[in-house]
């Protein structure tokens, strides 16, 4: 399971990532982005980073959680992503998620 929480302010952007394995192991990571982002972009970047770790570690399954209802709805395909800059990031998330089986 993947838990992500992103935060963007005028001075910094960062994300907290938590990954829990089926065996009960918990891995926590913090990311600091060296570029200016919105809260939504930070959430997407956090999901991408964690999915990359899951793929690198050979995870066959993943279930992601986010506190951003907008991002969750966009990833599920319930809402459209209209911002041109976010469309490319949305496609990256969809591409990486297709590499993992759904649970």
- In tens, the pLDDT along 3-61 reads 566 666 666 777 777 777 778 888 777 777 777 777 788 888 888 887 777 777 777 77
Residue 51 lies in a domain: yes
Give the model's pLDDT for residue 79.
92
Give the model's pLDDT for residue 2.
53
Q: Residue 18 is part of which domain span?
A: 2-98
Model pLDDT for residues 67-103, shown as the tens digit of each residue? 788 888 888 889 998 888 889 888 988 888 776 655 4
Give the model's pLDDT for residue 97.
78
- CATH number of the domain encompassing residue 30: 3.30.420.10
Give the model's pLDDT for residue 100.
65
Residue 17 lies in a domain: yes
Residue 103 lies in a domain: no
Residues 6+ apart with CB under 8 A from 4: 15, 16, 17, 18, 43, 46, 47, 50, 64, 65, 66
Residue 56 lies in a domain: yes
What are the Cα distances from residue 70, in Å, to 29, 39, 40, 61? Answer: 23, 11, 8, 23
Q: What is the DSSP letter of 81?
A: -
Which conformational region is residue 24 in: left (phi greater than 0), alpha (psi within -120 to 50 degrees), or beta? left
């Amino acid at each position: 399971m993947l838990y992500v929480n992103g935060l963007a302010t005028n001075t910094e952007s960062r994300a907290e990532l938590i990954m829990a394995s089926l065996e009960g192991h918990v891995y926590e990571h913090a990311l600091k982005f060296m570029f200016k982002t919105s809260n939504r972009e930070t959430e997407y970047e956090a999901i991408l980073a964690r999915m990359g770790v899951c793929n690198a570690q050979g995870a066959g399954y993943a279930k992601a959680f986010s506190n951003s209802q907008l991002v969750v709805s966009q990833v599920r395909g319930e809402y459209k992503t209209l911002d041109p800059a976010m469309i490319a990031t949305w496609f990256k998330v969809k591409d990486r998620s297709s590499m993992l089986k759904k649970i």
